[in-house]
């Protein structure tokens, strides 16, 4: 059984889920929703992107609402076509030929040095603190924290600050199915035992709302929850309000608007509670780590 769930008082048959909102601060469409994001639906946490233009607004809201369960979405990529951002530190290996962060996880794994990754991770955390945030966790934009250049610093930051960092228990085949090359997948698998030995959290499984499928609806998401196995699950979505800005940035804007509508729907929360699923936040895990 997952040792974190034991410490939280759950049993081996319990289904426990953090329902998480990625990409807050990426644009205004992700920050204007903060006052209502956690009110009526199932969302229990979110994470903020420090290099992005709307980070100050998101951080200001987080500082004014310290009870909100918000962490740092550590970011080494900028995936969009014409909406781009650079690193905070200006490290030589962190940028493409246009001077912005790389568009893909694979480009980061091929180019970014451990020294530059470490400096950038620390700078993004420091920026969150300077803006008054009290991060409940760290997680990774587009999986870049799980390569050889970043993973050690990612986990060291978690241990030093006693702030949990997202890791999930996947075997090499599943990791490769999720886009990691064979060497990176093997590297991650080798790290998991030491992560758990250090008392850090590891999720048993992850699920997500499909950005490539805007037709996924409330009934589909209810079913996604209904079939969850026992253990600790990380459920990821990317909520945003419909706006000209979002439509200009993101080809998958329809799915992001869907995520906001579905995951804040009281009907989804009622269905999840009726299924006996336990909703927790990162702060619950943080409190376990800090004793």
> What confidence tens digit (pLDDT) does each residue in 216-232 have?
999 999 999 999 999 99
Query: Inter-axis angle of helices 182-197 and 151-161, to 10 degrees?
Result: 20
Q: What is the pLDDT of residue 272?
A: 98
Residue 257, beta-bridge partner list: none
Q: What is the pLDDT of residue 291?
A: 84
Domain map (residue ranges) of the chain = 3-289
Q: What is the pLDDT of residue 41?
A: 96
* CA atoms of 255 and 192, how far apart (whole Å): 32
Q: What is the pLDDT of residue 287?
A: 95
Q: What is the pLDDT of residue 45?
A: 98
* Residue whose token pair is 């599943």: 174
3-class SS letters over the chain: CCHHHHHHCCCCCCEEEEEEEEEECCCHHHHCCHHHHCCCCCCCEEEECCCCCCHHHHHHHHHHCCCCCEEEEECCECCCCCCCCCCCCCCHHHECCCCCEECCHHHHHHHCCHHHHHHHHHHHHHHHHHCCCCCCCEEEHHHHHHCCCCHHHHHHHHHHHCCCECCECCCHHHHHHCCCCHHHHHHHHHHHHHHHHCCCCCECEEEECCCCCCCCCHHHHHHHHHCCCCEEEEEEECCCCCCHHHHHHCCCHHHHHHHHHHHCCHHHHHHHHHCCCEECCHHHHHHHHCC
Q: What is the pLDDT of residue 23?
A: 98
Q: What is the pLDDT of residue 178?
A: 87
pTM over cut 0.75: yes
CATH of domain 3-289: 3.20.20.370
Q: What is the pLDDT of residue 143?
A: 95
Q: What is the pLDDT of residue 198?
A: 85
Q: What is the pLDDT of residue 70?
A: 98
If the chain, 291 residues long, is cut into consecutive pieces of 10 residues, what is the mean pLDDT of each piece?
94 98 98 96 98 98 97 98 97 97 97 98 98 98 96 95 95 90 88 85 96 97 98 98 98 98 98 98 95 84
Q: What is the pLDDT of residue 185?
A: 86
């Amino acid at each position: 059984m997952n040792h974190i769930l034991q410490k939280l008082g759950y049993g081996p048959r319990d289904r426990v889920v953090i329902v998480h909102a990625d990409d807050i601060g990426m644009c205004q469409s992700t920050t204007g929703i903060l006052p209502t994001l956690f009110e009526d639906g199932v969302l229990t946490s979110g994470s903020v992107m420090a290099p992005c233009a709307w980070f100050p607004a998101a951080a200001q809201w987080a500082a004014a609402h310290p009870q909100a369960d918000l962490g740092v979405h550590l970011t080494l990529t900028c995936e969009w076509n014409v909406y781009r951002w650079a690193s905070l530190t200006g490290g030589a290996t962190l940028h493409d030929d246009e001077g912005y962060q790389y568009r893909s996880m694979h480009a980061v794994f091929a180019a970014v040095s451990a020294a530059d990754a470490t400096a950038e991770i620390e700078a993004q955390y420091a920026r969150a603190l300077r803006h008054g945030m009290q991060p409940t966790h760290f997680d990774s934009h587009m999986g870049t924290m799980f390569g050889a250049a970043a993973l050690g610093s990612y986990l060291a930051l978690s241990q030093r600050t006693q702030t949990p960092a997202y890791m999930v228990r996947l075997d090499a085949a599943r990791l490769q199915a999720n886009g990691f090359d064979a060497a990176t997948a093997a590297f991650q698998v080798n790290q998991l035992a030491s992560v758990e030995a250090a008392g850090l959290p590891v999720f048993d499984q992850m699920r997500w709302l499909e950005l490539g499928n805007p037709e996924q609806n409330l009934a589909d998401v209810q079913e996604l929850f209904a079939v969850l196995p026992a253990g600790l699950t990380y459920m990821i979505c990317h909520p945003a309000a419909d706006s000209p800005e979002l439509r200009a940035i993101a080809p998958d804007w329809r799915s992001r608007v869907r995520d906001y509508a579905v995951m804040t729907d009281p009907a989804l929360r009622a269905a999840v509670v009726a299924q006996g699923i336990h909703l927790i936040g990162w702060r619950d895990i943080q409190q376990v780590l800090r004793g």
